[in-house]
Amino acid sequence: MRMLRLAAGLAALTVAVGACGSDEKSTTAAKTPPSTTSTGTLPEVKGKSSTTRTSTPTPKPAQTGKPVQVVDFLAFKTPSGKVGCAVTKDPTTLRCDTTYETSFSRSGHRCTEGDYGHSFEVLPSGAGKAICAGDTVLSATNAKTIPYGTTWALGPFRCIARTSGLSCVNGAGHGFSLSVQSQRLF
Work out the average pLDDT over 104-131.
Answer: 96
Q: Return d(Cα 32, Cα 38) in angstroms, integer.
A: 9
Q: Mind listing the pLDDT tens digit for each residue in 50-75?
A: 334 443 344 444 456 777 777 799 99
Q: Mind listing the pLDDT tens digit for each residue in 15-61?
A: 333 333 333 333 333 333 333 233 333 433 333 333 344 433 444 44
The predicted structure's pLDDT at residue 45: 36
The predicted structure's pLDDT at residue 68: 76
Choose the weakest-confidence range: 70-74, 111-115, 161-165. 70-74
Choose the weakest-confidence range: 13-22, 61-70, 107-116, 134-143. 13-22
* Burial bucket for residue 75 (CB in 10 Å: 0-12, 13-18, 19+): buried
Whether this prediction's pTM lies above 0.85 is answered by no
The predicted structure's pLDDT at residue 57: 44
Work out the average pLDDT over 139-157.
Answer: 95
Work out the average pLDDT over 3-15.
Answer: 36
Torsion over CA: 130, 132, 137, 138 (sign): positive
The predicted structure's pLDDT at residue 69: 73
Judge whether residue 135 has pLDDT over 70.
Answer: yes
Average pLDDT in the chain: 75
Q: Return d(Cα 76, Cα 79) in angstroms, integer.
A: 10
Work out the average pLDDT over 129-144.
Answer: 95
* Burial bucket for residue 166 (CB in 10 Å: 0-12, 13-18, 19+): buried
